[in-house]
Amino acid sequence: MKLGIVGGGQLGRMMAQAALPLGVKTIFLDPATDACAGDAGQLICAAYDDAAAVQQLADQVDAVTFEFENVPPDSVATLATRKPAFPPVDALATARDRWFEKSLFQKLDIATPKLALVDDQESLEAGVDRVGLPCVLKTRTLGYDGKGQKVLRKRADLTDTFAELGSVPMILEGFVDFEYEVSCIGVRNQQGQCVFYPLVKNEHDQGILYRSQPLTNSQLQTQAEHAVKSVMDALDYVGTMAFEFFVKGDDLIANEIAPRVHNSGHWTIEGSRCSQFENHVRAVLGLPLGSTESTGPVVMFNVIGRRPDVQQLLSIPGVHWHDYTKSERAGRKIAHITVTAADQTQLILRADKVAGLLVNEL
């Protein structure tokens, strides 16, 4: 079997690594000649909207999936008419646009921050009257790692922000005074079978994910799984999905979904019986899903901008080094490290050593 993947970054690379034992080969479409997934499968090097390349990909594979949500809609539509393509077109379109996404959450009774639609300076003023200060102005599309958004704290902040963010369609959200951030990763296959991984606590540095660690909270886990399942069922979703939430007391407040494998699920490679990557491949190929049971204590660190001393790192027991072979550049995710241990005390000791070796450049 051959799986086509649009996007050839580390997510595609790790999908390919999970696909191989299943006897599945991968072909990527990516404009970068040095796309890091190219080490793990065949690479078609062309723009995402190159009609001939999209056709070439469709011709060579049994099914298609996507590494990111901003694939040009025409390319998604072309692929979906020629081969089974998952997640479905509508799911990608919903996740691409913060307004569509949050409107779906509200329709499904999933708690969100207060919301207003902003199309110009006038609707921004009206939105702030409704939502209140502080609030967060975000572009509806193309925001990631905290880019394309700004916190408004006082009336004077309204003056230039709409123009600064590009005068494009935006949404305004009430500022959530959260205690911490979590994500829940779920997978749904073509038969509607759903599985969920344990909730993960996520820590960011300057908007970029730095550390993810599973947590045990059955009350929040139930809420999260209910929300993920509602969204996946509503979208007739197939594949892995990550749902990010803010935690306030006993409540989850929805932030956003990612219609794909997610950085906060990289720990599942060593920390779960079947990883988010393998389950994604299984789902899009119509196979039964694997167990999401945890194998033991685990934590994941992102390596951003600069590599640590790998000799020292690998001398720590329980360290799993995943180098994407990307060149070093400030703010770029170039590798991740998963730390496993027999118990929480051992995990903390090992994780502290790893954290001490990181030389991230943001």
Kindly list the residues in this chain that would bind ligand AMP in the complex (CB under 6 A): 113, 136, 143, 146, 173, 175-176, 181, 204, 207, 244, 255-256
What angle (nearest 5°) sits at the alpha carbon of residue 64, between those of residues 63 and 68? Answer: 160
Asked if residue 87 has a cis previous peptide bond (ω within 30° of 0), the answer is: yes
Closest approach of ligand AMP to the CB of residue 36, in Å: 23
Q: Between 91 and 347, whose beta carbon lies closer to ligand AMP? A: 91
* Rounded-to-integer distance, Cα 171 and Cα 116, Å: 6
Q: List the beta bridge partners of residue 171.
A: 117, 138
User: Smaller CB distance to ligand AMP: residue 30 or 69?
Assistant: 69
Least distance in angstroms from the C-beta of 9 to ligand AMP: 18
Are 7 and 31 spatial neighbours (Cβ–Cβ below 8 Å)?
Answer: no
Please give the single-letter amino acid code of residue 314: L
Whose Cβ is closer to ligand AMP: residue 192's or residue 207's? 207
Closer to ligand AMP by Cβ: residue 176 or 341: 176
Measured torsion, CA atoms of residues 231, 235, 236, 237, in degrees rounded to the nearest 10: -70
Tokens of 3: 């799986």
CB of 173 to ligand AMP, least distance (A): 4
Q: Which amino acid is it at 329?
A: R
- Least distance (Å) between residue 254 CB and ligand AMP: 10
In whole angstroms, the minimum distance from the beta carbon of 144 to ligand AMP comes to 6
Q: Which is nearer to ligand AMP, 107 or 204 (CB)?
A: 204
Beta bridge partners of 118: 170
Query: Toward ligand AMP, which CB reaches closer, 100 or 321?
Result: 100
Q: How far is the CB of 65 from ligand AMP (least distance, A)?
A: 22
Please, are residues 211 and 202 in contact by the beta-carbon 8 Å criterion?
Answer: yes
In 224-318, the DSSP E strands lie at: 239-248, 251-258, 298-304
Report the residue number, 83 or 138, with the smaller CB distance to ligand AMP. Answer: 138
Q: Tokens 């959260």 sit at which residue?
A: 178
Helix (H, G, I), strand (E, B) or coil at 108: coil
| Share of the chain residues as helix, strand and coil, in percent rounded to the nearest 5 | 35, 30, 35
- Are 27 and 5 in contact, with CB atoms under 8 Å apart? yes
- The distance of closest approach from Cβ of residue 128 to ligand AMP in the complex, given in angstroms and rounded to an integer, is 14
